Amino acid sequence: MSPFVLTRTLPEDATGAALRADVREGLTAVPKTLPPKWFYDARGSALFDEITRLPEYYPTRAEREILLDRSAGIAAASGARTLVELGSGSSDKTRHLLAALAGPLSYVPVDVSESALTGAARTLLAERPELEIHALVADFTAGIELPVTPGPRLVAFLGGTIGNLLPDERARFLASVRALLAPGDTFLLGTDLVKDPAVLVRAYDDAAGVTADFNKNVLRVLARELDADADPDDFDHVALWDPDREWIEMRLRARSALTVKFPELGIAVPFDAGEEVRTEVSAKFRREGVRDELAAAGLRLTHWWTDRAGRFALSLSAPD
């Protein structure tokens, strides 16, 4: 059997259709919104990699610290023979888990980017040629069907990405994860924790302006993919802490009154001076809240690990 199998479950134009639908729905709503997934073209992904190395941006370092310190414990607690990673990207941090899990081992990375999956597989197989990789080109938020692999399985959702989902979206997502799990399977979840708001805001509004460039990259995506006359120089980057919802919001604020035209969609989107479009929510969590959201989806929290500074957490849960 080939050590690398790739299955595409997304239609060829699924990404373009989703972008058109999100723009039409989000930019004609009040208030205006765009989903954060549209940051991540090649340029946006490179900018995010740069963000993860900034002194202000702690989540990536904090999660990597936990994985380095606790992967053996995670492997022992899960007993997994298959690792499923949702939103796997470059699979960079996953290496620590793969190294700790006992073989023979199957890895199921799930991502919307076929190029990211094939690139990560090439790197992993050069290091571990015995690894069986069953890659899925799929949108995990829309529900997926996993390939047949040895159990138990450990389903991982790392990076604090769950914080980009609104509460009702998180509930649906966690319910879909629970539906994937058989008895003996487990779920590993990365969550950024509530902390000093000043620390949080700096992580999303760095002194070098890299996050501002990343935020404005969505306008470049709209210009390239939809022929929109969206100019990043017409907008300011804004990062705010919402103490009631306990999340960071990233927004783009129009510097003056303007209209962004989308010829391909047949719409023109007016902005008043100072009007904002929300481009990302990044929720922060407390242990009790994570436990309760998991429980509502039929998952029981069994283990909780944090970095030494208590900034970030990985939790392991099992089906009730």
Residue 262 lies in a domain: no
Residue 113 lies in a domain: yes
Task: Give the H or E element holding residue 214.
Answer: helix 210-226
Residue 138 lies in a domain: yes
What is the chain's pLDDT, residue by residue, as a tens digit (320 residues)? 468 999 988 777 788 899 999 999 999 999 999 999 999 888 998 999 999 999 999 999 999 999 999 999 999 999 999 999 999 988 888 889 999 987 779 999 998 888 888 999 999 999 888 899 999 998 888 878 899 999 999 999 999 999 999 999 999 999 999 999 999 999 999 999 999 999 999 999 999 999 999 999 999 999 999 999 999 999 999 999 999 999 999 999 999 999 999 998 999 999 999 999 999 999 999 999 999 999 999 999 999 999 999 999 999 999 99
- C-alpha to C-alpha distance for 156 and 2, rounded to whole angstroms: 24
The C-alpha angle with vertex 166 and arms to 34 and 46, in degrees rounded to 5, equals 50
Task: Please give the model's pTM, rounded to 2 decimal places.
Answer: 0.94
Residue 255 lies in a domain: no
Annotate 292-319 with b (16+ C-beta within 10 A) or e (fewer).
ebbeebebebebebbbeeebbbbbbbbb
Q: Helix 210-226 and helix 14-26: axis angle, to 10°?
A: 110
Give start and end residues of each alpha helix (H) in 52-196: 59-78, 94-100, 114-127, 167-180
Percent of the chain's residues with pLDDT above 70 = 99
Give the CA distances from residue 161 to residues 17, 36, 43, 193, 255, in Å, rounded to whole numbers and listed in that order. Answer: 23, 10, 19, 12, 30
- C-alpha to C-alpha distance for 65 and 62, rounded to whole angstroms: 5
Residue 264 lies in a domain: no
- C-alpha to C-alpha distance for 65 and 54, rounded to whole angstroms: 16
Give the CA distances from residue 244 to residues 147, 191, 197, 286, 288, in Å, rounded to whole numbers and listed in that order. Answer: 41, 18, 12, 14, 16
Residue 290 lies in a domain: yes
276: helix, strand or coil: strand
Residue 235 lies in a domain: no
Q: What is the CATH number of the domain that holds 299?
A: 3.40.50.150
Query: Domain count of the chain?
Result: 1
Q: DSSP letter for 41, please.
A: S
154 in Cβ contact with 186 (< 8 Å): yes
| Domain encompassing residue 13 | 1-225+285-320
pLDDT in tens, 7-36: 988 777 788 899 999 999 999 999 999 999
Residue 266 lies in a domain: no
Which residues, in sequence order, are bridge partners of residue 105?
Answer: none
Residue type (1 letter), 169: E
